Amino acid sequence: MQARALFLSFMVVTLSLSGCFGEVEQTTVVELEEQQNPRVFVTDKDGLSVNMVPINMSFQFSDVGETGKEPSIGITSSGCIFFIAMEKVMRSCDGGLTWEETQDPVQCSPTTSDPYGWVDPITDRVFGVQMIGLETSWICWSDDDGETWLGNPHDSGTTPINDHIKLATGPWTGQGPYGAMGTITGSTVYETAVYYCYNKLVGIFCFTSFDGGATFEAGGQIVGLATTNGGLHGAISTAPDGTVYVTPRVATPTVIVSKDNGFSWFERFMGEDVTTPNPRKNSEVSTDTASNAYHVWTGADEGIYMSRSTDSGETWEQESIRISPAGVISSVFPQTDAGDPGRLAVTYLGSENAEMLNQSDIDGNPWNGNAHYAPNNVTYHLYITYSLNALDDEPIFHTYRVTDDPVQVGSICLNSGDCRDIGGSNRNLLDFNDLHIDREGRVYVAFADGCTGDCATNENATAADSRDGRGSVYYLASGPSLIEEFGLMTPLID
């Protein structure tokens, strides 16, 4: 990937550092460079432009230096960034200047086909989750910024498939038999509840750990699930009041909610005015410091939409709000996090190639904006959208297209069983990206870059040139924190 919008031009310096894996090559960024004309949108709840000055923000880019398909990102209170994808846990403790592999190959399984990572925002415990075959996964964790690790296998039983693994943590609620355990003074129950979900052919299974993720004895198939497409689901989200959210892959935007630490679950619907036809993967819920919830997904018109709940998931508004600008006519992989009430960030891959609508897609049919069928010369970029009043009746969204060159040229596979082989499979980005904030409200985005090297510099690049999956990060260099008390963020790197 070449120099990025508002960000970095860099050169590579090879360093030898001693770590868990001995000699490690790292990438050092030595110069910052700002783009002269960033692509910025200010829009209303219909995605239409409004006459308002955009929020002044800049974002910094970091090349992780490893394959980054299906990345997870988290930040500890010390400022260390953890990027977890494929078979490696990568760590940067200097604002993305350098990265090193930090996972222990003995305590954490060295092979995986479906990784996931999480940093507990309360305890700083770092989790790396890896799938071993179709029946077992391995969960490892570190309490010292990745210096040392412990780990245990988790057997999903005899019914395949243990897939789409996800993990998160959240407060004990004091409700139900699980929550009550977390209130026992002096007990061995871990400070936060740890949740682990995966899908099988028969649906979604979720479990709760009382010992910080070492074992998961409580849980099973969750109630109220829709088993469309095997029950594939997005990330687990938790709120400060302990409410837990899981988003299934179904035709109508839906969330599955627990208020008693996973002992029981109920299902809620929202935003039925913009339905989400299959195949769709990995919609997501974020929650703010007051436990308001925001569900984001890709709608039938290929825009990014949101529904809000101000009663901890009990009810959701039925008139959904468009987050992405109307000019972004195709979008995938929406991820979100929130800070204080109404302060929200969303990232996604999107295309502005409106001239390609109704042109022949890769199956020879008129293209309607679905990324799965995008023509070979459609380009996708990374967008980051902010709102500082997302709970208002008339919220405003400030969107930056942060990439100069495309993240993907051509189609993006949205259904793992039906991908296209156009100069290489279009599933090179796999299923999701990630966005999280640190404890000061600074936003971090992890994504896989499919268009690197010659693809990034060639204006005539084709889908066949865009088959990489390079691990990449953007984070807020300057601009408003999503946690109001921290005001304006300043660059981490001079």
Token digits of residue 22? 């001995």
Lowest average pLDDT, out of 9-18, 208-217, 224-233, 364-373, goes to 9-18
> Which pLDDT tens digit goes with each residue over 276-313?
665 566 789 999 999 999 999 998 899 999 999 999 99
Give the pLDDT score at 20.
Answer: 36
Give the pLDDT score at 54.
Answer: 96
Q: What is the mean pLDDT of residues 144-152?
A: 94
Name the band, by pLDDT with cuts 50, 70 and 90, for residue 12: very low
Q: What is the mean pLDDT of residues 41-58?
A: 96
Torsion angle of alpha carbons 379, 384, 389, 392, nearest 10°?
A: 30
CB 367 within 8 A of CB 373: yes
Q: What is the mean pLDDT of residues 70-93?
A: 94
Give the pLDDT score at 254.
Answer: 84
Of 358, 359, 346, 350, the C-alpha closest to 379 is: 350
Token digits of residue 152? 């245990």
Q: What is the mean pLDDT of the chain?
A: 86
**Cα dist from 465 to 409, 446, 459, whole Å:** 8, 22, 11
**Cα dist from 265 to 101, 141, 218, whole Å:** 38, 27, 14
- Angle, vertex CA 176, rays to CA 171 and CA 181, nearest 5: 60
Q: What is the DSSP letter of 119?
A: E
Measured in degrees and rounded to the nearest 5, phi and psi for residue 181 equal: -65, -35
Q: What is the mean pLDDT of residues 261-276?
A: 79
Name the band, by pLDDT with cuts 50, 70 and 90, for residue 252: confident
Give the pLDDT score at 110.
Answer: 65
Longest Cα pair distance anywhere in the chain, in angstroms? 65
Q: What contacts 340, CB < 8 A, 6 or more positions away? A: 288, 289, 290, 441, 482, 483, 484
Which residues is 194 bridged to in the sheet?
169, 209
Q: What is the mean pLDDT of residues 323-341?
A: 97
Q: What contacts 37, CB < 8 A, 6 or more positions away? A: none
Residue 176 CA to residue 408 CA, distance in Å, equals 46
Task: Say which amino acid occupies 482.
Answer: L
Name the band, by pLDDT with cuts 50, 70 and 90, for residue 239: very high
Dihedral sign, Cα of residue 225, residue 227, residue 230, residue 234? negative
Task: Report H helices in 50-207.
Answer: 176-181
Residue ranges with strand state E in 53-201: 58-67, 72-75, 81-85, 88-92, 100-101, 116-119, 126-132, 136-142, 150-155, 163-170, 193-200
Give percent of the chain with pLDDT exceeding 70: 84
Q: What is the mean pLDDT of residues 203-221?
A: 89
Domain 39-489 coded CATH 2.130.10.10: yes
Q: What contacts 268, CB < 8 A, 6 or more positions away? A: 254, 255, 256, 257, 309, 313, 314, 315, 316
Residue 329 has pLDDT above 80, yes or no: yes
Name the band, by pLDDT with cuts 50, 70 and 90, for residue 231: low
Burial class (CB in 10 A: 0-12, 13-18, 19+), 182: buried
Task: Say which amino acid occupies 47.
Answer: G
CB 459 within 8 A of CB 434: no
**Cα dist from 119 to 69, 125, 194, 296, 492, whole Å:** 18, 6, 11, 22, 20
Give the pLDDT score at 203.
Answer: 80
- The number of CA neighbours under 13 Å toward the Cβ of 257 is 23
Residue 88 CA to residue 9 CA, distance in Å, equals 26
Q: What is the mean pLDDT of residues 445-458?
A: 96
Residue 404 CA to residue 38 CA, distance in Å, equals 9
Give the pLDDT score at 182.
Answer: 53
| Peptide bond preceding 160 in cis form (omega within 30 of 0) | no
Residue 72 has pLDDT above 70, yes or no: yes
What pTM, to 2 d.p., does this model score? 0.91
Torsion angle of alpha carbons 435, 437, 443, 449, nearest 10°?
A: -30
Looking up tokens 């139900």 gives 176
Q: Domain ranges for the chain, please list them.
A: 39-489
Q: Which residue has the higher pLDDT, 16 or 471?
A: 471
Q: Which residue has the higher pLDDT, 415 or 481?
A: 481
Measured in degrees and rounded to the nearest 5, phi and psi for residue 155 equal: -90, 120
- Angle, vertex CA 385, rays to CA 381 and CA 391, nearest 5: 155
CB 296 within 8 A of CB 304: yes
